[in-house]
Structure 1
Amino acid sequence: MMTPDTSGLALTGASGSAREHYLRGLSELQRFVGDPVGSVDLAIAEAPGFVMAHVLKGYLFGLATEREAMVVARACHEAALPLVATAREQGHVMALGHLAAGRWHEASRVLEDLTIEFPLDALALQAGHQIDFFTGNARMLRDRIGRALPAWDKAMPGCHAILGMQAFGLEETGDYRRAEQFGRAAIELEPRDGWAQHAVAHVMEMQSRQRDGIAWMHANKDGWTRESFLQVHNWWHLALFHYDLGETEAVLALFDGPIYGKRSTLSLNMVDASAILWRLHLGGIDVGDRWAHLAANWAPKAAAGNYAFNDAHAMMAFVGAGLEAPAGTLLETQREAMLAGDDNAGFTRDVGHPVTLAVKAFGEGNYAETVRLLRPIRAVAHSFGGSHAQRDVIDLTLIEAALRDGNTPLARALTAERALARPESPLSTLFMQRASTLDAN
């Protein structure tokens, strides 16, 4: 039994109603709203032989960066393997298998080939783009979508997502003017596209347009918050604008409310919580018992060892809360992870472990060691995932460590570097002022 999706691509094993459930789940993923897992579960219940429904569910779990979720991703792959499928669908099953086994780069390559041949394969573009994000591959964030873009037009269902992904790829490669144009065009098509909303926020963050960013987020607040599972990250972006302006009370209010008021146990949400508190910690801000609550939710994940980017943010919480035991568990788990055969072994060895050690050293007041650990990895930090805005915490930590260590030449060099990159940032000005007061001797 074969029925096409909205682009005419085969959906083998789908019934009419299962197709509708699947397309709803895909649309929810493209907008980061609703319950795509619930939608695809309905599709599978309706048509157990619907191969792409199993694949979509597998991607949803495989891209969650949670160790427990990978069990579901592997089960989805196993369910899809024996099913009747076209060559394109078999490519998806292969990509899911790589992802479920922790072979991020192999999954990326399979999906790249799929979208070269089938540029209207919206799910392949979406999954590939997310993998590019989690592996920090800025060029592919841009080019994977750019290659497919000529096949799309704004009248096609889901085109907003293609424009939004292109916006983010352009932003991560420094093409801010066109990134903003693509992002705004995506929001005009679909105001609830949380990824496009966040792409424009990234542009404004990188350009230090804090007031524009605050206005941008408030102008479409209902669009990016309503039933959105990306809303915590978008609230985090709003908090970053206030942080750079030195508006600490606004930052803490956002943390206590939409960022971490519900004390989520999802790693993606806790990463944002750790990232904003650590920035405040670098500035010497007392955040009270917020670290303790966050660290308590990170503690069960200290032995996960499946995604180095998460590990670094977990260590921030353990340091902030003064918890030695889970910090030790995390470091031991990282040492084991570096011996594994998956891609996370490289993520951890090259970037994640040094960053995690540096965060711990900073917490212990060993600022010279923090500097020693962070300086060599800045050029390759993208390889453990995240965006420029997220990885900026590495530079912020390095600058603060150099300042506190009294390393005058390095502090002045780093603050001059930042002032050139972000001349309109109040934080750049503050860093420069602090570096200028250090004893040159």
Structure 2
Amino acid sequence: MSLRDSRGCLVSTRSATSLSQFEQALELSVSYRLDPLATIQAALQADPDFAMGHCLRAGLMIMATDRMTEPLLNESIEAIESLGRRANDRERAHAAAARSWLHGDFAGSIRRYGEILLDYPRDLLALQVAHVGDFYLGASTMLRDRVAQVLPEWDTSAPGYNYVLGMYAFGLEETGLYSRAEDVGRRALEINPVDAWGVHAVTHVMEMQGRIREGIDFLTSREHDWADNNGLAFHNWWHLALFHLDAGNVAQVLDLFDRRIRPTPSQVPLEMIDGSAMLWRLHLRGIDVGDRWQTLAACWEPFADHAYYAFNDAHAVMAFIGANRLDLAKRVIASMEQKLDALDTNAMMTRDVGLPMAQALMSFARGDYADVVQRLLPIRTIANRFGGSNAQRDLIHLTLVESALRANQVRLARALVAERTQLKPSSPANWQLMARVMELGGDSSAAARAMESAETRRKAQFMPQRTMALSG
């Protein structure tokens, strides 16, 4: 006799205890709270043949984007496969999807997880892995539409409904549907205020729309909802730092970096990525960050030869360049070059975007800004192919703009900055870039007007809220 989980999906176990531990671990996983791996490990130690427990552990290993997780991933896949028909169809489908990832077929793996949802639309684990996988693959429309496909089967009666709404909100945001994204994200938070992914989705909307003050207020006012014992907290702190950076509050950015984004020398790839991405933004502005690069580079060093996921590799290169460890940056690039002839998904990501970007970063380190421009221009419109969000990939555009300025390519720089100011006119940082372009082009009056626009927008974001008197 099999049991059903709280969403009605059959689980091939007779142990109510194992199922309860699975439910606890899954809740921790989708909420990004505490340590879901420790919870499911305890279940597997007591019940080594617990197939759904192995499915969850495999999913956690996939979402880590870390080659060092492969032994546990392989162990869980083999455990499910060894059960044969004692594992049900859904559990065996999870194993097949996870094995595709293990073999480097990231795209095929996420497609398989998506196929599970066609038969089991309330499989919250499959949905989370597919959603995160779509993010890693840069599949923006699927971030939205894969969740939309199952939404009719969910409502408030199903545990985890708010997490599904949070995922959908993020997909809507990544495809530019900002108003709808914010509405859905706030609905998720009405159901469950501590939904860190829902907070994350609404924050992304504010970032993309340049709502600096609102973004800062939103995150800080809800800090108790997302910052305590939450694995996504470092990333939401990163978003808070982005708002402060746009406003020019560099001291606040560095304080957040030290206390919140990188308070310890973590070697979790997702956390190191945010560290690299923030320090590189400061590097582009010519800001001295002290020994922070060296500390971060030391954490990245064990990953230098992995070439496991191109998005990670590019951020490792940033850290090594910032720390003046060009020897390590060259090792990463050499490992990426060895991937080019492979047939797996990461080979495509490396070939199309990751390697050109890493090479451009090296050219930036050498001061060959014209070469940076030449390498980044072709990939800027296809950068989604190596994963990440629109906000994260903006680093490519920022590096391109800075390189065009330093290479004295005024017309290109002006065009690129015009893109930014039109897309996010409320951003003081964008208008500061416009002032630099105008100054470089010899138009001091236009440069002064652009700086005035930057200051006007900064003040508009932070002026005290006033109550309008009724006229009469």
Return the TM-score normalized by structure 1: 0.98
Q: Which amino acid aligns with 1:58?
A: A
Aligned partners of 1:306 and 1:337 also within 8 Å: no
In 1, Cα distance between equivalents of 2:25 and 2:356 = 39
Match of 2:336 in 1: 334
Which residue does the alignment assign to 2:3?
Answer: 3
Give ranges in structure 1 of 5+ residues lacking alignment: none
Q: Report the CA distance between 1:261 and its aligned residue.
A: 1.8
CA-to-partner distance for each residue in 1:247-267, whole Å, 9 max, x for gaps? 100000001111112121111
1:27-76 Cα shifts (integer Å, max 9, x gaps): 00110001111111122123222211101101101210111112211221
- Per-residue CA deviation, residues 194-240 of structure 1 (Å, 9 max, x unaligned), is 11111111000000001110011011111111111111111101000
Tell me if the contact between 2:80 and 2:91 (Cα under 8 Å) persists in the aligned partners: no
Counterpart amino acid of 1:55?
Answer: C
CA-CA distance at 1:3 after TM superposition: 0.7
1:117 to 116, 119, 127: 119
Q: Distance in 2 between matches of 1:12 and 1:145?
A: 26
Where in structure 2 are the equivalents of 1:22-171 lying within 5 Å?
Answer: 22-83=22-83, 84-171=86-173
Per-residue CA distance 1:359-404 (angstroms, 9 max, x = gap): 1111111100100010000111001010000000000000000011
SS at match of 1:377: coil
Once residues 129 and 423 of structure 2 are traced to their aligned partners in structure 1, the CA distance between those partners, rounded to angstroms, is 31
CA distance in 2, matches of 1:76, 1:88: 15
Query: Helix, strand or coil: the match of 2:33?
Result: coil
Q: Percent identity?
A: 44
CA contact (8 A) 1:399 1:414 kept: yes
Of 247, 250, 260, which aligns to 1:245?
247
Residue equivalent to 1:217: 219
- 1:14–1:67 Cα change, 3 Å: farther
Match of 1:292 in 2: 294
Q: How far 1:171 moved relative to its partner?
A: 0.3
> Which residue type is aligned with residue 170 of structure 1?
L
CA contact (8 A) 1:17 1:46 kept: no
1:11: how far off? 0.7
Q: Report the structure number with the largest CA radius of gyration.
A: 2
> Any idea what SS the aligned residue of 2:342 has?
coil
- Counterpart Cα distance in 1 of 2:219 and 2:368: 38
Counterpart CA distance in 2 for 1:193 and 1:234 is 12
CA distance in 1, matches of 2:47, 2:315: 40
**2:279 maps to which residue?**
277
Matched, 1:15 2:22: no
RMSD: 1.2
Q: How does 1:358-437 map to 2 (within 5 A)?
A: 358-437=360-439
- Secondary structure of 2:426's counterpart equals coil
Deviation per CA, 1:297-326: give whole Å up to 9, x if none. Answer: 111111111010011111111111111211
Give the secondary-structure state (helix, strand or coil) at the position aligned to 1:363.
Answer: helix
User: Which ranges in structure 2 are unaligned for 5 or more consecutive residues?
Assistant: 444-472
What CA distance in whole angstroms lies between the structure 2 residues aligned with 1:64 and 1:196? Answer: 20
Measured after TM superposition, the shift of residue 13 of structure 1 is 2.5
Residue 190 of structure 2 corresponds to residue 188 of structure 1: yes
SS of 1:157's partner is coil
Structure 1 residue 136: Cα displacement: 0.6
Work out whether residues 186 and 193 of structure 1, in 8 Å CA contact, stay in contact via their aligned partners in 2: yes
Name the amino acid aligned to 2:325. Answer: L
CA–CA distance in 2 between the matches of 1:261 and 1:9? 40
Question: What TM-score, normalized to structure 2?
Answer: 0.92
Letter in 1 for 2:101: L
Q: How far 1:340 sits from its partner (Å)? A: 2.5
Partner of 1:357: 359
Contact between 2:276 and 2:318, CA under 8 Å: does it hold in 1? yes
What amino acid maps onto 2:343 in structure 1?
A: G
Instruction: Give the paired residue count.
Output: 441
Contact 1:14–1:49 (CA under 8 A) maintained in structure 2: no
CA contact (8 A) 1:367 1:402 kept: yes
Q: Contact 1:74–1:101 at 8 Å: present in 2 too?
A: no
| TM-superposed deviation, 1:14 | 4.7
- CA drift at 1:172: 0.3
Q: 2:237 aligns with which of 227, 235, 250?
A: 235
